[in-house]
Chains A and B, each alone.
Chain A
Amino acid sequence: MARKKARSNVKQTDQLNTMLKQGEREVDPNLSININKLESLFNGDSDFTVRPFKLIGKYPAAIIYLNSIVDKKGINQDILKPLMNQQSGYSFETLNFEQIKTVIYEELIYQTQGSEETKWTSIIDHILRGYTIVLVDQVKLAFALDTFDVAERSISQPESEQVVRGPRDGFIESLSTNISLIRFRLPVSSLRIKSLNIGQLTQSKVAVFYLDSIVNPSLLESVIDRLNQIKTDRILDAGYLEEHLRDAPKSPFPQIQYTERPDVVVGNLLEGRVVIIVDGSPFGLIAPATITQFLHTPEDYNEHFLISSATRVIRLISLVLSLIMPSLYLAAISFHPELIPTRFAIAITTGRTGVPFPLFLEIFIMEIAMEILREATIRMPKQVGAALSIVGVLVVGQAAVEAGFVSPLTVVIIALTTIGSFATPSYNIAIALRLLRFPMLAMTTILGLYGFMISWIIISNHLLSLRSFGVPYLQPLSPGNWNDLKDAIIRTPLRWLKYRPDALNTKHRQRLK
């Protein structure tokens, strides 16, 4: 379907190109020629509307728009009504071209945003973006007026980043609403929004947010540079951009943070990071991102620093455990039973009697079953999901143990691992580590604790060599930085956080002047 649409788009561009080749790049003075040209271009598109009328009751004119993406009420009230008003008493015969232009644009139309266009490419682009084009006979010019209006959902609580204590508003799909949410929290003049169009066919509007007085110019430059270098036909969501912006595209670890929350975006802008939002996506991308950022939630700054620090440590532990727990369990039971006291070892062996698989296979099967369960519950409608999770718990947990399919301890370990991965605030890093759990398990199956340690070293070394826009991924753990450590694994009192992160190399290091 998407491909079909893309193909028809290509066709349209081809048509436009052939038309432009014939030397007709600009608007013709004759209205009917212009309308014919547009009609042949949008041939058969039921959305495409041409509404002819008489300008101030005398002169032939037309408005052109795409029916589905314009605000019809606005067109009626602010464009058609004043233009057709016969009482205005203008007489265009006595005026020259410049004057006619001024009269129409400055005296007749009640519209905040508009421009005068002469080139067909730009006119078509405007029509596709929900502008209304006003063409007047004998005027070699088109007025493009912003009448864009599509249905938006209302601002609601972000689904993926829930907080107990904190603001309840989240981004929506409309870029302008998202901008307003950020502006509302950050009323400073140095907030800059740089707009780009990316994607050869989708021409998606991408906005880059930064605080001019704080951001490191070379960071901004490299963000803009990477955005400009993107060669693709489509950007449908922020995730598409993320993949193009990464320093190491092959790494499973997220190198850019995403958020649905305007308060998180504002917090990061104030620290000197750059935020990228795509029109049509409720997610903002935050660059650069280091690993500790993925353990943070906006609540951390609302609660007491001791509590926040403790929860951050818990999150880190759960993240690490979700990676290593099955491997450690496997290594301890299969390779080094001498580690475990005899009494406990007997209990484990008793639990495993009747299990038809070797331990590594048992763990693998359970892990995969858990992943299937997780994937199923995400995709299911909510009502079915609840039923599914009950079935999952009963079948995979209770019944499997009673049937002697798996041992109870394995179920406990796998359950803890899975819960551990859900305790991480960022879904993308949790999923990266959940994926890496499998190669680690394979290495442990082959080489025991040695294999476990080797895979730990390989993963660590990979993390140590990662960069996000030049910032070391494990900063401030390695390379160490005392200042940045104050808000990494733990959160120190806010009055101690006098400086912006050193890793970002901001223009003004001190938060307060």
Chain B
Amino acid sequence: MKAKGDQITMLQYVCILVNSTIGISVLSLPRWGASSAGTAGILATFIGLILFFILLLAIIFITSAYPQRNFFEITSLHLGKTLGRLISISFSIQYIILTSVIIREFTEVMATTLLRKTPLLVTIFVLVLTVALSTKKSLIDYGYINYYYFPFIIIPGLLLISFSLPNIDYTYILPVLGNEITLSSILKTSTDIIILPFFQIGLFTLFLVIPNMNNPKKALKGGMIGWMIITIMIMLMTTVTYAVFGTEQIKDEVWPVLALTRTIRLAIPPLQRLDVFFILFWVVTGFTTIFSGYLIATSFFAQSFYIKHTKLAYLFLPAFFFMALAFDNHVQLYEFMQQIGRITLLITTSLFLILVIMTLFKKRRAANEIP
């Protein structure tokens, strides 16, 4: 029987966007702003999110001009099939790298919190295998999976924020504009934040989802709702972390939000600590982001050869696995994350610029052709 809703609904699309964007990197997010802009880091994060929104709008504009066409089809429509294929494959490689970075970050968090003695090799392999297993499923299931995990991501986040409220000291977030901060330095901090791989994964999920939506006209509305939820969650978490620790302490923490979970004192007998439970839910958060990244990498590759992404699920596994193993420690990982993020964001924005201009050009020409 052909069931109702064989396509992704707007709510599922919102969930995909939120789940993919709010990832394990949120744990380290306040550190980036605090270390380079001090208390202005909060503002910088917000500006970063606005930049994110602009990129989001660009994708919605590009895809909604050609509904039901995937990334490869759109690029090859504008730039020719050969170049389109080249771009798709290079983006597939780019997302293998970005996702592997997140996989490594995720397992580093696991190694410091849950599994102190287990070799990273094992944790990474188990995670990659789980994600590959999920990638064997269809894109519709991808929508269902994200819809299902949405509360698992949002509710613990909100609980964390509300439990931390008693520890807040408002003086820690003042002055909002920071000390001796110029516009260019704030913008630089904002780009430092927006280049974190999870933002880019969140962005590119739209290329997978919008062509398969039951009502692509709602892409803009869904994108706005999704962006609002992301902004509220990230801003709340960042602000609360700043307000609890202050910028100086945040700089010393690798994962400030993780430290935040340890400060919570809410003894529910027979449990005396809650941080482990938050970590449990971060596993889900990390999983959804990594799943999206894996799906983007396999789908873009598969699209350019007109095959289904499910066929590549296990084939891509070694690439992610060895790439994630390639780093020595988290210091090196974060350095690499900054460099690769900067490059990929540059590539992404320039491609978007070209595509937006081409779309505008074609739209105008199409408008002229109709008498």
Interface residues of A (CB under 8 A from B): 216, 218-219, 221-222, 288, 335-336, 338-341, 344, 447-454, 457-458, 460-461, 464-465, 467, 469-472, 474, 477-480, 502-503, 505
Contact = CB atoms under 8 A, between A and B. Distances in A.
A472 B3 contact: yes
For chain B, give the interface size range: 35 or more
A458 B145 CA distance: 11
Interface string B271-295: 1110010011001100100000000
B144 A457 contact: no
B181 to A, nearest CB: 40
A452 B114 CA distance: 11
Nearest to A469: B1
A401 to B, nearest CB: 20
A75 to B, nearest CB: 46
Contacts of A341: 267, 269-272
B148 A453 contact: no
26 contacts: A338-B276, A339-B276, A340-B272, A341-B267, A341-B270, A447-B115, A449-B114, A450-B110, A450-B114, A450-B126, A453-B284, A454-B127, A457-B287, A458-B130, A460-B148, A465-B138, A465-B141, A470-B2, A470-B3, A474-B144, A478-B144, A478-B147, A479-B9, A479-B143, A479-B147, A480-B147
B280 A505 contact: no
Nearest to A223: B1
A216 to B, nearest CB: 6
Interface in B1-35: 1-5, 9, 11-12
Contacts of A339: 271-273, 276
A461 B1 contact: no
B3 A461 contact: no
Describe B's contact surface by its main secondary structure: helix
B144 A465 contact: yes
A479 B283 contact: no
B134 interface: yes
A461 B143 CA distance: 11
B118 interface: yes
B276 A458 contact: no
Interface of chain A, main secondary structure: helix
Given A339-B272, A339-B276, A447-B126, 19 more contacts: A338-B272, A341-B269, A341-B270, A447-B118, A449-B280, A454-B130, A457-B130, A457-B283, A457-B287, A458-B130, A460-B148, A464-B137, A465-B137, A465-B145, A470-B1, A470-B2, A478-B147, A479-B147, A505-B1
A122 B234 CA distance: 75
Nearest to A222: B1
Contacts of B110: 450
A448 B114 contact: yes
B159 interface: no
B356 to A, nearest CB: 32
A469 B1 CA distance: 6
B123 interface: yes
A221 B1 CA distance: 8
B133 interface: yes
Nearest to B15: A478
Contacts of A344: 269-270
A460 B133 CA distance: 12
A454 B126 contact: yes
B122 interface: yes
A402 to B, nearest CB: 25
A335 B3 contact: no
A337 to B, nearest CB: 11
Contacts of A502: 4
A464 B4 contact: no
A480 B127 CA distance: 27
